[in-house]
A and B are shown apart, each in its own frame.
Chain A
């Protein structure tokens, strides 16, 4: 969205301008454009996934089957999970990576611009294929985003194969993006930008990219085995044929657990950018933040079976995975303490980005605590597959990560588009979201403790009150996001013009550029002091 005025002359026809618009956006190799594309796709997908969530919460408002049949309900929960993880959170993080990494390291663009373009465009096509599976004969995928075999293999509908294809495409997109990011950070830092001067956001994406390279192929392997079991007579996961259903779980979670850190680390990165700015104080403990990030990256790969405590593993394995999962709380907790220490004795102001960042710290600490509870293997026998788990991971994904990404959008929006968003609307968006997200997910902890399983379309009457409260929160939260979208769209034209510095306490190379930055920035590398 940078300086492109040469396209809008009065002598070109509407048709020619439209074609030129389409050609520009499909063929662009500019990291700023591609970042914007990722953001727009993620925002759109968020409303699609959110609509599915509202359908779920509407059905769960009171006991009984009022709105959807149980099979479609299972499709809703499956698609909601897949869309939110693969169509919203991963693209939005990739969008931030594209916009910010080159500017933050003083590079003119990403190392592999054409791959960057391809990596992006795979994603919306894959997402369309994924969503279209819902409308195919036999219904959409209805076995949970975790796709356990043999429910997904022997008993999955035909559309499952299209879902597998979509996941392959999304995986390739992520792998290409990861290669691009590592190469860029490794080889294109401006002279003088040593590793220990790298902004935290860049560090977190560096580690994230390595995790992606390790895990996406495993997911690809798992879904390929699913495809073969479904169509080519193999028995990877079919006990009757000599295969093993638990193999699927191990493969899926070997991908699935590091995946949540793939989502979390970039969010940690943005928080590490936002809090120092609005505290007017440097990030506390930069070095240990870097160490913690790398440690989290490693540990994330060796804790996967804490999702499988009830699946029949020997108690020695339960012991190991309990220990490792609790250990990962140490570097994560260290990060929280460092953020708090950054704010402590700072000079805080509470613009919208900072509100979201503070809410992140509060709710992520809480989510981390329920995570520690879940890691206690014996107790997990009661928590597993109940709404306690649903509450935990939504506190992580929505109340923490999504809030961090909201904050980051508000934070960098004035830089990207040269216009301030509407601060009043931002505050409304924050407070309504903060309150409703807690109304939505907090009661679910108690539902789980009281014995409500997950992925059920109807429930025993003792669970009614808390489900009602949760559903009300869901609808308020869902509609509040319209404020966000409106703010973003309208402020591009009507927002107040932003300065280069934008925020008084902001430090970093991106703030030395104009707002919006030049279409091609840092053609000459900046001098790093």
Chain B
């Protein structure tokens, strides 16, 4: 019995670790994340208290009311007063939890006076961000190399939590997010911003955050969305408002590369195409092009990749196939990237059609 108390006592020392190591919910950097954290900790301590009482009685009973200690069983099987008390106390506890919770819910729903609106679109398997007031946007892809995933290279510090283009936001400004999806249900979650919103196709859902400190905040997709669900992280770079203004103006003025066929050779296209295919297409169609039919058709020896009708191939990649998992990739890639991918598909795996798809061809077929 003494050792039992020693164990219980030692376990109390464990509690501070919950805050020190990152094994507790982060307090975060937004008003909502603070409120959620405070609510979480309040309920946590109430739970600790309840468990202490209940477990205390259980342990006391297990130790003292044993047959082996010649305990004689009492015969009572009712006590209305006690039962009323332990119905009322939980109701009071629930009320105590509900009142602050309602306040936080109302606050989370307050979208007034937003100073910036960002549209977040979930795709399989990347996020797309658009600054609606500025008319610019981009896709944000996982940038961890496959070599790290399969154990060839050592995993870096931000393994699976890094992207090629993070979402840049200003601090101390109320940012409103509008979320939707291009295909299946995804969920945009950044723990330190205290925000998680499902991205549902056919719906536009709102969220907001006011980031109080500059920094890099990482999250992940939080709704199973297919094979790449674990591989579409969220990275938010919060910078002070002046830096944000400079950055957004630069982004808005960046002219996307037009259809230039200069210097575009088969080797160039194949080299770029191989990398892009592995990064973006292999997840469904596999590195060797064998796919997983019928949901993800095989590209090897398919008529689409080997017949003389190159336009059909281009059209399919640009505009997708409705009601299937094949997306329209026109918005995601520029002309050179698409030309490279399609050229690769037409020449790899023994196809050797010799076709070189030109960036101008891609441009011509964009709708």
Contacts and interface: CB of A to CB of B under 8 A. Distances in A.
A284 B83 CA distance: 10
Contacts of A466: 23
A347 B72 contact: yes
Interface in B11-34: 18, 22-26, 32
B194 interface: yes
A453 B61 contact: no
Contact of A326 (B62, B67, B97): B97
A467 interface: no
Interface residues of A, number: 100
Contact of A312 (B47, B54, B198, B322): B198
A158 B294 CA distance: 8
Residue of B43, B86, B189, B224 contacting most chain A CB atoms (<10 Å): B224
B57 to A, nearest CB: 6
Interface string A253-281: 00000000000000000000000000111
Interface in A329-354: 329-330, 333-334, 336-337, 340-350
A447 B25 CA distance: 9
A472 B89 CA distance: 39
A378 B90 CA distance: 20
B196 A334 contact: no
Contact of A343 (B58, B87, B189, B195): B58
B125 to A, nearest CB: 10
B73 A349 contact: no
Interface in B167-218: 183-185, 187, 189, 191, 194-198, 200-203, 205
A454 B196 CA distance: 14
A315 B23 contact: no
A382 B196 contact: yes
Nearest to B94: A326
A148 B322 CA distance: 19
A450 interface: yes
Nearest to A349: B67
A450 B22 contact: yes
B151 A154 contact: no
Interface stretch (A123-131, A239-247, A431-439, A490-498): A239-247
A290 to B, nearest CB: 13
Interface string B225-237: 1111111000000
Interface residues of B, number: 99
A151 B200 CA distance: 11
Contacts of B71: 345-348
A222 B104 CA distance: 34
A343 B61 CA distance: 7
A322 B231 CA distance: 32
B35 A378 contact: yes
B232 to A, nearest CB: 10
Given A330-B91, A340-B61, A382-B25, A244 B222 contact: no
Contacts of B133: none
B292 interface: yes
A74 interface: yes
A478 interface: no
Contacts of B292: 71, 138-139, 157
A74 B292 CA distance: 14
Contacts of B268: none
Contact of B183 (A155, A280, A285, A450): A155
Contacts of A362: 55, 58
Interface in B157-171: 157-161
Contact of B57 (A323, A340, A369): A340
Contact of B90 (A154, A279, A333, A344): A333
B184 A461 contact: no
Interface in B30-77: 32, 35-36, 39-40, 43-44, 47, 50-51, 54-55, 57-58, 61-62, 65-68, 71-77
A143 interface: yes
Interface stretch (A9-17, A62-70, A211-219, A479-487): A62-70
A189 B97 CA distance: 44
A65 B146 CA distance: 10
A137 interface: yes
Given A138-B293, A461-B155, A285 B77 contact: yes
A417 to B, nearest CB: 26
A52 B191 CA distance: 30
B104 A378 contact: yes
A528 interface: no
A358 interface: yes
A70 B205 CA distance: 29
Contacts of B82: 341
Contacts of A379: 36, 39-40, 43, 101
B222 A384 contact: yes
Contacts of B293: 137-138
B73 A315 contact: no
A143 B74 contact: no
Contacts of A330: 87, 90-91, 94
B325 interface: yes
A376 interface: yes
A451 interface: yes
Nearest to B106: A315
Given A154-B325, A373-B47, A311 B198 contact: yes
B123 to A, nearest CB: 13
Given A138-B295, A366-B51, A373-B43, A382 B22 contact: no
22 contacts: A64-B149, A65-B150, A74-B224, A139-B295, A151-B226, A285-B78, A312-B200, A318-B105, A326-B97, A327-B94, A330-B90, A340-B54, A341-B79, A341-B82, A343-B62, A346-B73, A379-B101, A381-B36, A386-B222, A451-B220, A459-B160, A462-B22
Given A70-B228, A154-B323, 11 more contacts: A63-B160, A142-B226, A240-B201, A285-B78, A330-B90, A345-B73, A379-B40, A381-B195, A382-B194, A385-B222, A450-B22
Which 3 residue pairs of A and B lie closest in terms of their CB atoms, listed nearest first? Answer: A239-B202, A456-B230, A446-B23
Interface of B: 18, 22-26, 32, 35-36, 39-40, 43-44, 47, 50-51, 54-55, 57-58, 61-62, 65-68, 71-79, 82-83, 86-87, 90-91, 94, 97-98, 101-102, 104-106, 108-109, 148-151, 155, 157-161, 183-185, 187, 189, 191, 194-198, 200-203, 205, 219-231, 283, 292-295, 322-325
